[in-house]
Amino acid sequence: MIKRAVIALGGNALIKPGQKGTIYEQFANTRETVKSIVKIIKDGWDVVLTHGNGPQVGAILLQNQAGRDLVPPMPLGICVAESQGLIGYMIQQCLSNALRKEGIKKDVVTIITQVLVDDNDPAFENPTKPIGPYFDGNQALKLLKDGYQMTKQKNGWRIVVPSPDPKAIVEAKVIKTLLDNGVIVIAAGGGGMPVIERKGWGLDGREAVVDKDLSAERLAEDIGANVLLILTDVPYVYLNYGSERQRALKEVKLEEIKKYYEDGHFPAGSMGPKVLAAIRFLESGGERAIIADIDHAWEALKGKTGTHITR
């Protein structure tokens, strides 16, 4: 039986709370993150890794803004592509080095990935996805004057951008071919670059950031994955999270978690997209979706921790 997993890295994979996000911090965190991925590969799993890019793409946007009088600023779609290369490079190098130390001869490659979206997706008119660092009120006001849309959160203000629903992974066939030939693939980073199909033209980029968990689910469908493993900064999916009635979900059936989702238990900005990705994966024929703590990916895949969702 083929053991094939799409693993979506989130939470504190690259930047820990309180860190500035220097390249040294990000490399150190990546080296820690890939340790559990190596264990999964040693267990015989074919693996595709996806990752978020919120802090990185936000920083790239601000770098563009700061240097706009010296060099032409790049649009958001190009910044997403830059973040794919940046993060893919870190994961690819750290995972390759970790595999080599374990005597595992496997190639690791990053695929710059485009994701097809609907040009009429209402998300383009309603930016909701926060990216980049937190700002104080004065900084937020300046960014508003510069044309950015902002939202106020508990720790300050953040830039928000459109987040359309992914419809298909453009490079899925290539990714599957690599996987079929034993290559470990890093793909759909930051949700992939959102593109639309223009009649008489072909693919054309749109300015947005696609949710990485929803893109991971589309990719899992396309490559025939058994398992979708979504890693975050909490060990389980919870009902009534943060309250005295908080309850961890460990083994849960599809219909049950669908009801919880429809009842509004999972906020759109945090656990909501992860649960929706799990629901879609199982409805498309996937065997198991797991949502777990990023520091215990291997244990989650072994069934020792995490929320396991099945039909």
3-state secondary structure of 142: helix
The C-alpha atoms of residue 90 and residue 281 are separated, in whole angstroms, by 28
Active site residues: 11-12, 129, 212, 274
The gap from C-alpha 243 to its chain's centroid, in whole angstroms, comes to 27
The C-alpha atoms of residue 277 and residue 281 are separated, in whole angstroms, by 6
CB 144 within 8 A of CB 172: no
First to last CA, the chain: 19
CA angle 60, 47, 107 (to 5 degrees): 80
Handedness of CA 201, 174, 89, 54 (dihedral sign): positive
Strand-pairing partners, residue 240, are: none
E strand intervals along 17-113? 46-51, 108-110
Cβ neighbour number for residue 74 with a 10 Å cutoff: 15
Q: Residue 242, class by beta-carbon neighbours within 10 Å (0-12 exposed, 13-18 middle, 19+ buried)?
A: exposed
